[in-house]
């Protein structure tokens, strides 16, 4: 029995990383793996994580939340020219990173004690907690686009150095992996996200007349204001509706649209995205960036085409433009609205995209994706036997 340890920064944190770890872990149980998911800090949320009982969950530090002051916070404080503010941020930075270093030391000792055969680092920060001798047993997976990594991460240079030490740097699309190679990352490969459920059922996209989005309520990345603005426009003089599922905080602008348009309904959290999608017609995505959107995979599985802005390198590998949905480039809001209205008023094209998306969705089923992971682990074994 092979031992796999999966590292993440937060426990009790719902989202794409958790659902990926859960889906992969539960499938690997069928292949005689012993699995433990280890988080650095507790998120102190009331989320109930449902996972197979034989998969162990551990948190290194259950007291402190993952709220780390970063270097860019210090630079921001310096611009204020307020000495007390700068001093406070610097003290906070040093104190928090001292605690974090202690957590990483605890994690290193724990890894040595557990002695896993393989490690998946789900967040780049967790690489600091892996003992040097275990790095060649480590696969680091990046759940964001390369553009995100290069522009938003504080430690891009450090990540490039780690990419030379670990066995593989896994990206979520072929294009991302190719670009990472060009940008100086080493040991690159790619692995598509798996869809977390399968169904033979298909949405009746013509009868449903419903726009849908299952997403995080967040305006910086998901651009919920823009999504609601678009829905507000296309639903005028229409018998269609829009349902938005997810958790988070709305802006005042979003609240105004929700209050004034009864065709737009905020439904809160859903634990059954499959049923929600089977009752829909078109999936909306307005994200600024995505690594590899799970919600689009789920929509494909239910035969619901997606209209999305170009969210990064993986978009053309999740959606075949004009075949399974539409990718709108250059943030062209007018074109997004035009394509959406075209589908809402053209049942033949809508059904064509729905049929294609259902077929295309089979490419991302867990039974297919897991074979790639098993091969990767086999390659890791061979590499370490030779080395």
- The whole-number average pLDDT for the span 340-354 is 98
Backbone φ, ψ for residue 68 (5° rounding): -105, 125
pLDDT band at 14 (very low <50, low <70, confident <90, very high): confident
CATH-assigned architecture of domain 205-364: 3-Layer(aba) Sandwich (3.40)
| Mean pLDDT, residues 25-54 | 91
On the question of pLDDT at 154 being above 70, the answer is no
3-state class (DSSP) for residue 275? helix
Q: What is the pLDDT of residue 148?
A: 81
Whether the per-residue pLDDT at 87 is higher than 90: the answer is no
Q: From CA 228, how far away is CA 242, in angstroms rounded? A: 9
Residue 45: per-residue pLDDT: 77
The full set of domain ranges for the chain reads 2-193+366-386, 205-364
Task: Kindly state the tokens that stand for 56.
Answer: 């162990």
Q: Which of 41, 36, 32 is nearest to 13 (CA)?
A: 41
| pLDDT tens column, 158-170 | 899 999 999 999 9
Q: What percent of the chain has pLDDT over 70?
A: 99
Residue 100 confidence (pLDDT): 93
Q: What is the mean pLDDT of the chain?
A: 93
Cβ atoms of 96 and 74 closer than 8 Å = no
Virtual CA dihedral for 64, 67, 68, 73, nearest 10 degrees?
Answer: -150
Stated as kind and residue range, the H or E segment containing 12 is none
For domain 2-193+366-386, give the fold: Rossmann fold (3.40.50)
Yes or no: say if 260 and 282 are a contact pair by the CB < 8 Å rule.
no
User: CB under 8 Å, gap of 24 or more: what pairs does 372-380 form?
Assistant: 372/191, 372/192, 373/24, 373/28, 373/191, 374/31, 376/139, 376/168, 376/170, 376/189, 376/191, 377/2, 377/117, 377/118, 380/118, 380/137, 380/139, 380/167, 380/168
pLDDT above 90 for 297? yes
Average pLDDT over residues 147-152: 78
Fold match between domain 2-193+366-386 and domain 205-364: yes
Distance separating alpha carbons of residues 196 and 191, to the nearest angstrom: 15
Give 80's pLDDT tier (boundaries 50, 70, 90): confident
Q: Give me the pLDDT at residue 152, please.
A: 62
Give the whole-angstrom CA distance, residue 196 versus residue 361. 12
Mean pLDDT (whole number) for 224-237: 97
Q: Rounded mean pLDDT of 263-278?
A: 96
pLDDT value of residue 387: 63
> pLDDT-based confidence at 145, cuts 50/70/90?
confident
pLDDT bracket for residue 303 (50, 70, 90): very high
Q: Is the predicted pLDDT of residue 86 greater than 90, yes or no?
A: no
């Amino acid at each position: 029995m092979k031992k796999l340890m999966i590292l993440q920064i937060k426990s009790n944190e719902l989202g794409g990383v958790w659902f990926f770890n859960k889906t992969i872990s539960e499938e690997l149980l069928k292949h005689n793996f012993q699995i433990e998911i280890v988080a650095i800090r507790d998120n102190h949320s009331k989320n109930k994580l449902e996972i197979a009982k034989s998969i162990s969950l551990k948190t290194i530090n259950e007291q402190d939340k993952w709220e780390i002051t970063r270097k860019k916070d210090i630079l921001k404080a310096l611009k204020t020219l307020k000495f007390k503010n700068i001093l406070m941020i610097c003290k906070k930075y040093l104190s928090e990173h001292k605690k974090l270093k202690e957590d990483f030391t605890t994690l290193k000792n724990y890894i040595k004690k557990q002695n896993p055969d393989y490690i998946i680092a789900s967040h780049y920060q967790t690489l600091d907690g892996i003992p040097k001798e275990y790095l060649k047993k480590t696969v680091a997976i990046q759940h964001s686009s390369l553009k995100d990594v290069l522009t938003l991460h504080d430690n891009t240079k450090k990540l490039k150095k780690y990419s030379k030490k670990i066995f593989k740097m896994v990206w979520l699309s072929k294009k991302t992996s190719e670009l990472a190679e060009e940008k100086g990352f080493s040991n690159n490969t790619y692995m598509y996200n798996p869809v977390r459920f399968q169904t033979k059922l298909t949405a009746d996209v013509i009868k449903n007349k419903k726009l849908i989005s299952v997403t995080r309520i967040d305006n910086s990345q998901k651009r919920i204001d823009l999504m609601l603005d678009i829905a507000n426009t296309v639903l005028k003089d229409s018998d269609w509706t829009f349902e938005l599922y997810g958790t988070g905080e709305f802006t005042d602008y979003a609240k105004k649209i929700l209050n004034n348009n009864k065709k737009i309904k905020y439904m809160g959290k859903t634990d059954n995205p499959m049923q929600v999608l089977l009752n829909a017609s078109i999936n909306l995505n307005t994200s600024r960036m995505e690594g590899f959107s799970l919600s689009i995979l789920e929509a494909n599985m239910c035969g619901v085409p997606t209209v999305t802005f170009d969210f990064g390198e993986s978009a053309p590998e999740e959606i075949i433009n004009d075949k399974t949905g539409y990718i709108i480039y250059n943030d062209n809001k007018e074109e997004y609205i035009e394509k959406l209205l075209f589908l809402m008023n053209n049942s033949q094209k809508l059904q064509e995209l729905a049929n294609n998306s259902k077929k295309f969705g089979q490419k991302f089923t867990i039974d297919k994706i897991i074979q790639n992971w098993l091969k990767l682990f086999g390659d890791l074994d061979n590499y370490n036997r030779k080395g």
